[in-house]
């Protein structure tokens, strides 16, 4: 009886896991102004993520001195159109909303210049085909947490 119950619970969990993951992604697919925060630190990684349509999104790994944070920036094409770029070891200040274990950037300051990525209400300043699942402007599967603590 106990073995049958364990098997039943296991099988049910296999069906429930994708539903739970999908609902978490749906909950976190909007910029939450109430969760807005400011962070500052040094870029330790600049990561591109390609979508099926060929769009490239940019994520930054930032060392805040108290840990590492993944920052979802936006489409590389939009960043380039704004004459902005990111390199390892750049010092940045970011205003953005915490979403799960990362931050969706609304504005990034570097070397006295500011890159505005989102309007005050959190809508992207670029014209995305889709806002993606994590706010970077590119639809891709959820990313594995690597450097965040």
**Residue 13 and residue 113: Cα distance in Å, rounded?**
49
Mean pLDDT of 106-134: 84
pLDDT at 141 over 90: no
**Residue 132 and residue 61: Cα distance in Å, rounded?**
19
Q: What H or E segment, with its residue span, contains residue 25? A: helix 2-27
In the predicted model, what is the mean pLDDT of the chain?
Answer: 78
pTM beyond 0.85, yes or no = no
User: What percentage of the chain has pLDDT greater than the value 90?
Assistant: 50
User: Per mean pLDDT, which range of 32-36, 62-66, 124-128 is the poorest?
Assistant: 124-128
pLDDT for 54 equals: 76
Nearest to 99 by CA among 148, 41, 47, 43: 148
Give the tokens for residue 79. 């960043």
pLDDT for 100 equals: 82
pLDDT for 142 equals: 59
């Amino acid at each position: 009886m106990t073995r049958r119950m364990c098997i039943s619970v296991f099988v049910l969990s296999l069906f429930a896991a994708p539903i739970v993951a999908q609902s978490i992604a749906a909950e976190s697919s909007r910029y939450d102004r109430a969760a807005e925060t400011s962070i500052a630190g040094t870029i330790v990684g600049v990561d591109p993520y390609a979508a099926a349509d060929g769009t490239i999104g940019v994520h930054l790994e930032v060392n805040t001195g108290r840990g590492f944070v993944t920052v979802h920036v936006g489409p590389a094409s939009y960043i380039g159109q704004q004459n902005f770029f990111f390199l390892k070891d750049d010092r940045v200040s970011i205003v953005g909303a915490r979403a799960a274990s990362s931050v969706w950037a609304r504005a990034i300051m570097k070397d006295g210049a500011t890159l505005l990525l989102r309007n005050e209400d959190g809508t992207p300043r670029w014209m995305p085909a889709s806002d993606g699942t994590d706010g970077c402007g590119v639809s891709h599967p959820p990313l594995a947490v690597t450097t965040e603590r």
